Chain A
Amino acid sequence: MTDLTLTPAASRTASQGWIEKVGIGHILLAFFLLIYPVMASDFFLTQIGGYSLVLGMIALSLMLLAGYGGMVSLAQITVAGAAGYVVAIFGENNSGVYGFGWPWWIYGPLAIMIASLMSALIGWIAVRTEGIYTIMITLAVATACFYFAQQNYALFNGFPGYNGLRAPDVFGLYWRDPVPFYYLCLANAVVAYIAVLYGARSTFGLTLQAIRDNPRRMRAIGFNVTAHKVFAWWLAGLIAGAAGILLVWFNGRISPGTIAVGPSINILVIAIIGGLRHPIGPFIGAVIVTLMQTFAIDIIGAERFNTLIGLVFLLIVFVSPDGILGLWERLKPQAGRDDWRSFKKAANKAEKKGRNA
C-alpha cells in the first residue's frame, strides 16, 4: 500500500530534480530580485536595494572569514575602502589630486587586486591570533588605516578624501542610473553569493571549516594552517574589493569617514543580525540595517535613531545569537521538514524496489 501512494512522488522528484537542487527559496528570491525594479521607486531601487547589496557583499566577506574560518574581522570596510581609493586615484575625481583617468576595465581589476592583497596582508598579521584577539588586531589595523588616510595628503588627500568619482558609461548606459546600478550590484552580489555557497563544500571550503573546528588536528594531517587562513583572507578581499568599487560609485566619493571605526562596526552588526551560518545572512542583515538607518530618523528623530538601531540589534542577538537565520531555523516547522525527509527516503526506497522488481 505504501508503494502505491509513494510512486507518484518518486516520479515527481525525478522530473523536478533541478528545482530541488537549486531550492524553491532561491527560485522565489531570484524572481523577486529580478522584478524588483518594476515595483520599486528610484529611491528604493538605489538607496535601499543597491546599497543593501553592496553592504551585504562586504558583510559576506566577513561571513566567509567568521562563519567558515572562525576569524572575526573588523577590517572588511578598510579592504573595501582600499579598492575605493584605488578607483579615486586611478580613475577620475574632481578633487584636483591624482585622478589619472584610466578606464574602468583597468582600474577595476587593479582595485580588486590591491584590496585582496591588502586583505591577505591584514590576514597574515591577524592569523597569529585567535578569537577576541583577532577582533582587536583587525580593529587596530582598521583604526590605523583610518587615521593614516585622514592625515596623509600625498596619497589619500587627507580629511576631505576624493570627490566626484563617477561610475563609467558602458554599452550606452550610465551605471549609476538607478536601474543599471541595481542590476550591476545584483549581478556582483549573486556571483559572490553563489561562489561562497559553492565554495563552502569545495576542498578549500572544507579545509577552512576544519581549521575553524580544530587547527591543531589540521596541522597533524598535513595542512599549513597559516597559509590556508591567509588564502581565505585573500578570497574575502576579492569580494570586499569588488563591493568597495560599487560603494564609491554609489557614494560618488571616498573619504576617511568611509573607513572609520563606525562603518567597520556597522559591517559586523550587519553580519551578526543576518547570521553567520549561511551566505544569505549578511544580505538579510544588510537590508534590515539599511531600512533602519534610512527610516529610523523618521520614526524617532535624528538624535535618537542610533538608539533604536542599537535596541533592535540587542533584541535580535538576545532572542537569537545566530541572527535572523538562527531565528528562522528555530521557527521553521520541524515536524513538516522531518515528514518531507522521511517521505523522500521512503520514495527512494520504493523506487529501488520497483527497479529490482
Chain B
Amino acid sequence: MATNVAASRLQGTGANALELDDVGRQFGALTALSGISMRIAAGERRAVLGSNGAGKTTLFNTITGDFNPTSGTIRFFGEDITTLAAYERIRRGLRRTYQISQLFTNLTVLESVYLACRGVSRRRFSLLRPSPSDGAMAQAESIVHAVHLDDDRNATVGMLSHGQQRQLEIALALAGAPRFILFDEPAAGLSPTERRDLIEILNALPKHIGYIIIEHDLDVALRVSEYVSMMHNGRLFTEGTPEEIENDPTVQEIYLGGGHG
C-alpha cells in the first residue's frame, strides 16, 4: 500500500488531488506557515501530525479558503484555487470539518445535512419547502444514516451530545459529492467507543474520496492513513509511512516529548 502511494506521489500533476507549492501564511510578524509543499494523490489518505501550534489548522484554513495564504499556490485537481472564494472551492468537491464543531445549533440534524447537500447543488435560493422527493433530501437521509444519527435526525443540533455533534461535523463534510476532505481532529473529546465508530466511518468512505486528517491520537491517525506528514513550527518536518513515522526518533522527541521513546 505504502509503495503504491509513494509511486502515485511521483506521478504527473493530473493524478494529484491537492498540490501545495511553497505555501506560507503570515499574521503580522508571526509566521504561521512557511514553505509548505505537498503532493497528495486523488484518493490518498494522509495524516498530518504535529504539536499544538505547529500550523496544522492554519494549513487547512488556507486550503479551504477560510483565509488565503500570503505566499505560494494551491492546486485542487490541477486547478489553481489559491484565491478562490471558500464556497467555490466547496462546489469543486473540497470539504472540511472543524476542530471545534461549527454547527447550526437551532436547526435539526436532517435540516443541517440537507443544507450541506443543497449547498453544492441548484435551487439554493428556493422559497419553497424541501419536499420529501427532493434529491438533496434523499441524500441527506442516507448520510444521516451513514454517520449513525438516524435516531436523532429530527433533534435540534444544540441538544446533541458532544460525540453526536462530532458525527454531524463529519456528515456535513460528506454531503454533495466530495472528492477530498480535510478532517480537523475528528476524534477530539470522543469516548473509546465513539473513536472506534469514527475509524469505522472513515474506513467505510468510498475509495475515490481522499482526505487529510489532523489527529493527535496516533492510534486513530495511523489506522486511517496511508502516509504521514509531520509539521513543526509552521514547516513540513518529515514525511513517511505510518511505520516510518512511528519509529523515527526525532519525531518521537518532538511529538511525544521524548518520554515515550
Interfacial residues, chain A to chain B (CB-CB below 8 A):
198-199, 201-207, 209-210, 212-214, 216-225, 228, 231
Contact = CB atoms under 8 A, between A and B. Distances in A.
**Most chain-A CB neighbours within 10 Å: which of B90, B112, B115, B120?**
B115
8 smallest beta-carbon distances between A and B, as pairs: A222-B119, A222-B90, A217-B102, A213-B104, A203-B126, A221-B119, A219-B86, A221-B116
B127 A221 contact: no
Contacts of A202: 126-130
Nearest to A213: B104
17 contacts: A203-B123, A207-B118, A209-B107, A210-B107, A210-B111, A213-B104, A213-B106, A216-B66, A217-B104, A219-B66, A219-B85, A219-B87, A221-B115, A222-B90, A222-B116, A223-B115, A223-B119
Contacts of B32: none
A220 B107 contact: no
Nearest to A222: B119
Given A221-B175, A222-B87, A224-B85, A216 B124 contact: no
B18 interface: no
A210 B125 contact: no
B61 to A, nearest CB: 10
A212 B98 CA distance: 18
A279 to B, nearest CB: 15
B248 to A, nearest CB: 33
Contacts of A231: 125
How big is chain B's contact interface, by range? 35 or more
A202 B114 CA distance: 11
Contact of A206 (B96, B98, B115): B115
A221 B124 CA distance: 12
B172 interface: yes
Contacts of A204: 124-127
Given A202-B129, A206-B111, A207-B124, A217 B86 contact: no
B195 to A, nearest CB: 23
Interface string B83-103: 001110011000110100011
Given A203-B126, A213-B107, A222 B98 contact: no
A284 B47 CA distance: 56
Q: State the main secondary structure of chain A at its contact with B.
A: helix
Contact of B90 (A201, A210, A220): A220
Contact of A198 (B107, B115, B129, B175): B129
Contact of A213 (B91, B105, B116): B105
A198 B116 CA distance: 21
A217 B128 contact: no
B241 interface: no
**Most chain-B CB neighbours within 10 Å: which of A204, A210, A222?**
A222
Contacts of B86: 219-220
B124 A203 contact: yes
Contact of B103 (A199, A206, A217, A224): A217
B175 A214 contact: no
B176 interface: yes
B115 A210 contact: yes
Contacts of B85: 219, 224
A212 to B, nearest CB: 8
B96 A220 contact: yes
Contact of A220 (B64, B105, B106, B130): B64
Interface in B116-164: 116, 118-120, 123-130
A186 B214 CA distance: 57
B102 A216 contact: yes
Contacts of B126: 202-204
Contacts of B102: 214, 216-217, 220
Contacts of A217: 98, 102-104, 172
B12 to A, nearest CB: 29
Nearest to B111: A206
B125 A228 contact: yes
A214 B129 contact: no
A224 B90 CA distance: 11
B85 to A, nearest CB: 7
Contact of B104 (A201, A210, A224, A225): A210
Given A202-B128, A222-B120, 15 more contacts: A199-B127, A203-B127, A203-B128, A203-B129, A210-B104, A210-B112, A213-B104, A213-B106, A214-B102, A214-B103, A214-B105, A219-B65, A220-B66, A220-B86, A221-B176
B114 A206 contact: yes
Contacts of A206: 107, 111, 114-115
A214 B168 CA distance: 14
